[in-house]
Structure 1
Amino acid sequence: MDYQRNSHCKFLIAIHLILVVKYRKKLLKGELGSIVKNSLISLSQNSEFEIEQMEVDQDHLHVLMTISPRYSVSQHVRRIKQHTTRVMWQLHPNLKRQFWKEKTFWSDGYFACSVGNASAETVRKYIQDQG
């Protein structure tokens, strides 16, 4: 991880984020998991966060990410959930069978914790071993 630089400050804000599929449905193995990961990578290219490591398990997503302090963690999470849900429903409108036509994909909450630079490798290894 590199420190982000601008003319006035340096920062390294690393977050371990976990998102859970609504109703804990086991939908993330295979194609749907790949879609989530690819859409998140695409989003990160035009956003103020970088993905350091990411992996899916059957019903949840782990992401180690570095974020800009310009936006709060909840703002980053909201954008991630909105974007990935929109992509999932565009590519798989049959999700209405899973979610009773409600255009949702993720549970309401999320888990996020800050990761100190010294332990980032430990979190990275943990995420790599998921799934």
Structure 2
Amino acid sequence: MLLVTKYRKQLPGSNIADDVKQKIFDICKSHNREIIVMETDKDHIHFPVSYDTTDKICDIVKTIKQETTHCLWVKYNSFLSKQYLKKHIFWSDGYFACSIGEVSSSTIQKYIESQG
């Protein structure tokens, strides 16, 4: 999965990037989903998610975006209010998701680690 920040703004500082990654791990763990590796780049984040096939990917994305945005605005309100005109915006409207298929998890892990 790939999520991009609104307006392609850079992920500011390692604290926010680390908090985003930790929150996504926590969200997925609480919903019995697994993330093998996760890496942030300047304005986006890559992570493969293992999930139950009865779940809709759009619902997974919605939950991740909503909960991470809320968490970041609570913790970094003064900083984010200078970056975004509207409150409670952090992610762009879209996302990219695809199935991995027959690619090995080590290949995916190497690709994602090379993104950061």
Q: Answer whether TM exceeds 0.5 for this pair.
A: yes
Residue by residue over 1:48-103, the C-alpha shift from the partner in whole angstroms, topping out at 9 and shown as x without a partner, is 31111101001000001101112111111111101110111011002111111331
**TM-score, scaled relative to structure 1:** 0.82
Cross-structure match for 1:85? 69
Between Structure 1 and Structure 2, whose CA radius of gyration is higher?
1
Unaligned runs of at least 5 residues, structure 1:
1-16
Relative distance call for 1:28 and 1:77 in structure 2 (3 A) is farther
* Matched letter for residue 29 of structure 2: Q
Counterparts of 1:90 and 1:122 in 2: how far apart (Å)? 36
Q: Root-mean-square deviation (CA), in Å?
A: 1.3
Cross-structure match for 1:63? 47
**TM-score, scaled relative to structure 2:** 0.92
Higher strand share: 1
Q: Percent identity?
A: 39
Cross-structure match for 2:100? 115
Higher helix share: 2
Equivalent positions of 1:8-19 (< 5 A) are 17-19=1-3
Correspondence 1:20 to 2:20: no
Q: Does the 8 Å CA contact 1:28/1:60 hold for their aligned counterparts? A: no
Aligned pair count? 115
